[in-house]
Structure 1
Amino acid sequence: MYCTKERLKELIKKQYLIIDGATGTELQNKEIKKESWIINGNNIEGCNEILNITAPNIMKEIHIDYLNANANIIKTNSFGAIPWVLSEYNIADKTYELAKAAALIANEAREEYLKNPNSKGDLNRDIFIAGSLGPGVKLPSLGQITFDEMYEGYTEAAKGLIDAGADIILLETSQDVLQLKSAVLAVNDAAKKLNKEIPIMVSVTIEKEGTMLLGTDIETAYTILSNLDIFSIGMNCGTGPDMAMRHIKKLSQISSLPISIHSNAGLPENRGGKAYYSMTAEEFADINSSFFNLEGLAFIGGCCGTTPIHIKALSDKAKGIKPKKTALEKPMPYIASLFNTVSIKQKPAPLMIGERSNATGSKIFRELMIADDMDGMLDIGIKQVKAGSHAIDVNAAWAGRDETEDITKIISAYVKQISLPLVIDAIKPNVIEAALKVYGGKSIINSANMEQGEEKFDAICSLAKRYGASIMLLTIDEKSMALTCEDKLRMAERMYNRAVNVHKILPHDIIFDPLTFTLASGDENSFSAGIETLNAIKELSKKYPESSISLGVSNISFGLKEEARKIMNSVFLYEAVNYGLTAAIVNVAQILPISKIDEKEIKLAKELIYNKNN
């Protein structure tokens, strides 16, 4: 069975694949009859996708023009074939029909081109149909449309494109990474149901200011999207190739995925009320040729204002040049908000995860949540940012309340105003998934364990893999919470093997939490809690060097007075980092530098931690 994904991998080792140019500006140059814009008695001029059923030959001509220019990938006229765009013309019910027609036209164009003895270009080259899907004008991260509504719409469009023979799905001109998450899941699910393997190319739009519309830069977009099941990542629209260079160069330094660029023919000028692009084909090809020096670049072409002449000039420039390998073989251990990328493995360690936005652990936060005081809850989050946290743990679990409603409200507010990545602190799969559907960043799920056996553990791991999140694994099984180093290691190994081998979660996205317990319970069994945890950290860091290790540090000091807790937590964190701890859930404002603690207090804390009085 022919596999497009494998063929693409093979080809991009040897040659650049040329993406065709603009559709919209090409259509503006065609003579389109007025009746071609009429559907159900209504004039819907501006909805280019309707031409797929009212004037299919026009789009076929455009495809053939680009094929004559030696394009390897032709994009279907389906950019706006999604319900929330078509609903503006009262034809949302035609999503499947228009998407399918778009792919059928592209396939017919390919067949006619290959059979025509007068066709120009290399007739022996590989030609792929890319089903183009845009974002529309509604952004899920701003609450303008729900994740599920987008998912359903993209599913319908993807079915039409795949049913009609699209080889690739191209999600382009994207402005919101949450929109892309929804689209990627929809396309992959649709393909799976149709028993097809369809590679997904993702392309974001970076504006002149240097970010996507919501403020996401290219590095952050890559961090979030590279954990999803996509084939390539890149840029289109927004700028010309000259202004795109710095972003593509940055992407080339961090990407383990093939990279694409199909930019505009410069920035548009307003001439007679229409967008005009002044960059000539020669200029366009010359500037784009500088991308050939970058690692990982595999796909190159045009967007707004580019014509078959531009694409022919570009294909001529690319001929005979071998692409360079990607800079990295796999993604790095990073998490991200919409605005920032943060390494899980901080230098110096640890990753400091703020613990105050927690209804279970913080009375103040809980009362604000119950009072529906979002300003107050945001203030707690912002204070943790200012205190030096690297990420913020969010927990909304409280008896008698709807945890799903609470956590989605909080995260929806935090995602717009908190610059740090969020840790989704929940143990119910439905709550975790609801939170992931409103969070565009790359999060950590806190947490999964084996307390209820493999079924629930599997459910949470599946969510981490599906939505591209990292995951904390707590050393708890069906019998107990692990107290000894031996038990902690045994449970960690069981969870790691299942997460990696069954769910295909990458090792660097696994964060072990070997648990620690209070030293102040008075129970002799807890006196060694500190040293058992430290020993487990040491062994885990040796055995799983790609993974990370975290602790809820304040657990060690439950039952002590406030000042004693500060000292104990600070000393224990210091010791744990020396043993290999890479992340810590703490009240950052309450952690003291070891140099600021009296030596006698440090000695006393260590005696308790290492159980030296026993």
Structure 2
Amino acid sequence: MTRYRNALPQMTGGVFLTDGGLETTLVFHEGIELPCFASFPLITDELGRLKLRKYFRPYLELARLRKVGFILDTPTWRASFDWGTKLGFSRDKLIEANRQSVEFLGELREEYEGQVSPLIINGVIGPRGDGYKVESRMSTDEAQRFHMLQMDVFAASEADMVSAVTMNYVDEALGIVRAAQARKMPVVVSFTVETDGRLPSGEGLREAIETVDRVSGAYPLYYMVNCAHPEHFDDVLSGGAWLDRIWGLRANSSTKSHAELDAATEIDIGDPEDLGARYNALRAKLPNLVILGGCCGTDHRHLTAISDACMVA
């Protein structure tokens, strides 16, 4: 049973933390091989679930110490049909992996009952293709049909919301929003940008947000930016009410471009304190910035620095 689907707590005030860079932590810090950079196969056996519990616990402990809410993201960024096929998952097994991912987070939520509150379960939907570049495009209708597999699983589960993460062109984001509308699911859209502050498609961040809002009747709860360093998009955060729609940030630790990160053989953790200071500075431009997390290269050290800099209780 969902707890918050009809009244998500982050919409009524307070700071919420998330985790950091799941896949980069598992690969570079834990030495876990993730074919196709996919973490969802770990959910299918107990050893994999133990590794995921180990990963999430430092973040949940930080939220407990800071006395703030937490948004638990399913490890399903790559758990869509094309990626699943590459990894040898049939459609039924892929559906089961998405379902198990929500159940796993439900168990974590029960474990931290009374210690971290509110705890929100967020079903994550990633791009059909590469998150760093636009190799091919779908129409909005095609994207809606393609992403309905995950949306149907999350709608039938105890997930409180869904997020379209690392979106790199508008039509795919709109397709996921339409799928969410069709299933009456609360949805968030998180765009990624290049070092010039524009989506990999070339579309501007403002243009992307305003287009999705205009076409969907402002259906997304809010927007986020992920998988980019704050210095890549700081300069484009000006010019009006669209900034009020950005509620969350999950930045990379590194200032490197997507192409450089794609070719990297070692992790670049950057400077956690500097990253925290940049988050705090962005709060002056983004008045509704209340969801604080990390993406590639970040871990619990970065989240600690971010929460310290933003004076999270």
TM-score, scaled relative to structure 1? 0.44
2:272 aligned residue: 281
The answer (yes or no) to whether the contact 1:130–1:170 under 8 Å persists in 2 is yes
Q: Does residue 47 of structure 1 match 2:43?
A: no
Structure 1 distance, partners of 2:6, 2:290, is 13
Q: Measure how far apart 1:97 and its partner are.
A: 1.4
Structure 2 distance, partners of 1:315, 1:252, is 27
1:11 maps to amino acid: T
1:492 aligned residue: none
Q: Does residue 305 of structure 1 match 2:297?
A: yes
Name which of 237, 241, 254 aligns with 2:230: 241
Q: Which runs of 5+ in 1 are unaligned?
A: 38-43, 116-122, 193-197, 322-614
Could you give the per-residue CA deviations for residues 71-97 of structure 1, whole angstroms, max 9, x where no partner exists?
Answer: 611211000111122222242513311
Which of the two has higher C-alpha Rg? Answer: 1
Q: 1:45 to 1:172 in 2, by over 3 A?
A: closer
1:212 aligned residue: 199
Name which of 57, 66, 72 aligns with 2:50: 57
Structure 1 distance, partners of 2:138, 2:262, is 34
Structure 2 distance, partners of 1:275, 1:143, is 28
Q: 1:281 to 1:245 in 2, by over 3 A?
A: same
Q: Measure how far apart 1:46 and its partner are.
A: 4.1
Structure 2 distance, partners of 1:311, 1:76, is 18
Q: Measure how far apart 1:62 and its partner are.
A: 1.5
1:260 aligned residue: 248
1:235 maps to amino acid: V
Could you give the per-residue CA deviations for residues 16-75 of structure 1, whole angstroms, max 9, x where no partner exists?
Answer: 32222111012112254x8xx7xxxxxx57432111103222112212221112161121
2:212 aligned residue: 225
Q: Which has the higher contact order (CA 8 A, sep 6+)?
A: 2
Q: Does residue 89 of structure 1 match 2:87?
A: yes
Structure 1 distance, partners of 2:239, 2:135, is 26
Name which of 117, 129, 136 aligns with 1:137: 129
Structure 1 distance, partners of 2:36, 2:136, is 29
The answer (yes or no) to whether the contact 2:192–2:226 under 8 Å persists in 1 is yes
Q: Does residue 80 of structure 1 match 2:68?
A: no
2:222 maps to amino acid: S
Structure 2 distance, partners of 1:280, 1:84, is 35
The answer (yes or no) to whether the contact 1:78–1:132 under 8 Å persists in 2 is yes
2:30 aligned residue: 30
Structure 1 distance, partners of 2:15, 2:194, is 25
The answer (yes or no) to whether the contact 2:180–2:186 under 8 Å persists in 1 is no
Moved over 6 A (4+): 269-272
1:189 maps to amino acid: A
Q: Does residue 317 of structure 1 match 2:304?
A: no
SS in 1 for 2:50: helix
The answer (yes or no) to whether the contact 1:84–1:92 under 8 Å persists in 2 is no
Could you give the per-residue CA deviations for residues 272-292 of structure 1, whole angstroms, max 9, x where no partner exists?
Answer: 952422323222212211122
Structure 1 distance, partners of 2:311, 2:294, is 16
The answer (yes or no) to whether the contact 1:102–1:161 under 8 Å persists in 2 is no
Q: Measure how far apart 1:178 and its partner are.
A: 0.4
Q: 1:108 to 1:88 in 2, by over 3 A?
A: same
User: Identity of aligned pairs, percent?
Assistant: 19
- Deviates most, 298-307 or 309-318: 309-318
Q: 1:148 to 1:171 in 2, by over 3 A?
A: same
Structure 2 distance, partners of 1:22, 1:157, is 21
Q: Which runs of 5+ in 2 are unaligned?
A: 64-68
Q: Measure how far apart 1:5 and its partner are.
A: 5.1
Q: Measure how far apart 1:166 and its partner are.
A: 1.5
Q: Does residue 182 of structure 1 match 2:175?
A: yes
1:286 maps to amino acid: A
The answer (yes or no) to whether the contact 1:262–1:300 under 8 Å persists in 2 is yes
Q: 1:5 to 1:216 in 2, by over 3 A?
A: farther
SS in 2 for 1:114: coil
Could you give the per-residue CA deviations for residues 527-559 of structure 1, whole angstroms, max 9, x where no partner exists?
Answer: xxxxxxxxxxxxxxxxxxxxxxxxxxxxxxxxx
